[in-house]
Amino acid sequence: MLLDTRELSENTAKVLRDLSKSGPRVITKGSETIGILIPPSPSGIKSDIDLLERLRLGQSLAAVQRDAIMNETTSFSMEGIDAEIRATRLAKRKRKK
């Protein structure tokens, strides 16, 4: 369910009170999604934070895999990977000088 920042600002107490009944709310500013408000699970906030960190890791991994597909680098051999690393390190050293 979408929730604009203005509505959240004007009805914060009600939104938070009803969060466990309404479930996750997608926070928007205009037409842009800026966050998600979720109720805590029965397993506790630490468990929820661990789960969210694993989600972020999964999102990062998916982005790297998507970039590899887009850049056609999914079939690099180990030699190709080593060559890329050497080239990147060499370019980095040249920038430092």
The CATH class that applies to domain 1-39 reads alpha beta
CA distance 96 to 91: 9
Tell me the mean pLDDT per 10 residues along the chain, length 97.
Answer: 94 95 95 95 94 95 90 82 92 85
- Domain residue ranges in the chain: 1-39, 41-97
Residue 24, helix vs strand vs coil: coil
* Backbone angles phi and psi of 77, in degrees to 5: -80, 170
User: What pLDDT sits at residue 71?
Assistant: 86
User: What pLDDT sits at residue 2?
Assistant: 93
CA distance 25 to 18: 11
